[in-house]
Homo-oligomer: A and B are copies of this chain.
Amino acid sequence: MIKLLVVGTVAYDSIQTPFGKVENVLGGSALHFTNSASFFTDVGVVATVGRDFDLSAINFLKDRHVNLSGIKIDDGKTFRWEGKYGYDLNQAITLKTELNVIESFKPNIPEEMKKANYLFLANIDPALQLHVIDQVESPEAVVLDTMNFWIGNKFHELMKVIERVHMLVINEAELREISKEYNLVRGARKIMELGPSCVIAKRGEYGVLMVSKDEVFLCPAFPLEDVFDPTGAGDTFAGGFMGYLANMGDTSLETVKQAIIMGSLMASFSVEDFGINRIKALTYDEIKARYKSFRKCMEFGDITTLA
């Protein structure tokens, strides 16, 4: 039985960064998410790929208890994204998007996945996200991602989704765009009025800001000397975040904070190589060691000398 369900994309990405170039590597929100989440819990994936997709390349996920039976092979080609980054790795420039089989994607959740306790709605059409929510029985936490395209073109549908989710995990620019507030804390509070109990803003190399009803939590990004490819870092964050929540089996604020730390840790590995490579090769010992370093970067002695 899976605990965590993700609905999103499986793709072939072509990526240029100042440090190199790759063509048609495995990517897509659902794949980056699952690759990361599978370190912590049993994941089910719902997505679509074309006849050209090499399923054997993601077989390694089965060894991590991922249920891939929800990946449907459709006539046509797999979704493709081509993008590049300059030295400011926070900004992706999309060169080409080929939707291919994504255009007719209709996510049907396999029976055995409908009881998933945790649901991640990766960045797809809000109308499809609603269709997914309708199928999952009584999840403890539904978490939403989206992008500027849907905010601009399907705002009404997106608002309906937001009303039905528990948390948002979105970029800070998207938070500003949805809320029409420049200030992130204010923007988050505005979104929470629609229903969600928590908004998590991803800020790339600057880390993560979480706003809940009563608290704000600040998680910096792990300071790396070599960032190679930021593609998928956001979904890898979400995977670590939700994988950890599902593993702990609760969504208390304390667990959410720890889950944000875990998501940030996973994202810090993700950017060290192209595509899914780094997380595919990752070990628990590496996660543990970096967790220790990460904590150390944030620790300071209590200040007791205020006059």
Contact = CB atoms under 8 A, between A and B. Distances in A.
Given A87-B182, A248-B305, A223 B216 contact: yes
A186 interface: yes
Nearest to A220: B218
Interface string A279-304: 00000100110010001111111110
A118 to B, nearest CB: 16
B223 A300 contact: no
Given A209-B223, A225-B186, A288-B306, A300 B254 contact: yes
Interface in A35-55: 39-40
Contacts of A206: 203, 206-207
A261 interface: yes
A258 interface: yes
A259 to B, nearest CB: 9
Contact of A183 (B207, B221, B227, B303): B227
A258 B218 contact: no
Interface residues of A, number: 50
Contacts of A307: 39-40, 284
A283 to B, nearest CB: 10
A151 interface: no
A287 B87 CA distance: 38
A260 B300 CA distance: 10
Interface of A: 39-40, 87-88, 182-186, 203, 206-207, 209, 211, 215-221, 223-227, 247-248, 254, 257-258, 260-262, 284, 287-288, 291, 295-303, 305-307
23 contacts: A87-B182, A183-B225, A184-B223, A185-B223, A186-B225, A207-B220, A215-B297, A216-B297, A217-B298, A217-B300, A218-B220, A218-B221, A218-B298, A219-B220, A220-B220, A247-B305, A258-B300, A258-B301, A261-B300, A262-B303, A287-B306, A291-B306, A298-B298
